[in-house]
Amino acid sequence: MNTLLITGTDTEAGKTVLTTALAAYWQKYYPQRSWGIMKPIQSGIGDRELYQKLFSLDQSAEEITPLYFAAPLAPPIAAAKENRRVDLAVVWQAFSQLRSQRDFVLVEALGGLGSPITDELTVADLAGDWHLPTVLVVPVRLGAIAQAVANVALARQSKVNLKGIVLNCVQPRTDEEIADWTPADLIQSLTHTPVLGCLPYLDNLEDLDKLAQVASNLDWERLS
């Protein structure tokens, strides 16, 4: 597996946290190996700029994000405002080229699994069609169990190669809150998908050592 797609249950689940943590981990523990990062489609300023700031990627902005739209809206809506269309052929070409050149590629999806990419396709459709090994980020909050179940069902419907679930504390959470709101055993039982770990609340996404440490605590053996 030389590619991993990071998606989530919704737009604020913590995809960027996990993607940044995995990038920091790869950079720290595998400095001799080449890696790349992609945000295939971005609407508005955000993740691409963060990745350029934090990492020496040896990638142009266009290689990180082949399709960029100014308005922070769903891609088909943002594209329409610019009289453009979402050209997935451009994304696929850039992704294929990067994957052929690097030992490992992290791909951060937009929005959640059900977020629209075009008028006909969602993130789940793209993950399934492109056969991308995928990790689902589930935020630690009330309702998380139902979100996990619904999103795993969508992943199965779209034939997504879902490797596991990562829980993410979007706010400071106590151990009791984590256990009550996102009980790993229950989520695994309901979804038949391994929970790879839980990311603590991180208020500084620029602390690469901390990010690498957090990523190292994930259950990598179950991911492989």
What b/e sequence results for 39-70 when a residue is b if at least 16 CB atoms lie within 10 Å of its CB, and e otherwise?
bbbbbeeebbebbbebbebebeeebbbbbbbe
Q: Strand pairing partners for 5?
A: 107, 134
Which of 15, 28, 39, 163 is the catalytic position?
Answer: 39
- Write out the DSSP string of 46-106: SHHHHHHHH------HHHH-SEEESSSS-HHHHHHHTT----HHHHHHHHHHHHHH-SEEE
Whether 163 is catalytic is no
In this structure, are residues 36 and 95 in contact, taking their beta carbons and an 8 Å threshold?
Answer: no
Tokens 């850039």 belong to: 94
Residues with catalytic function? 39
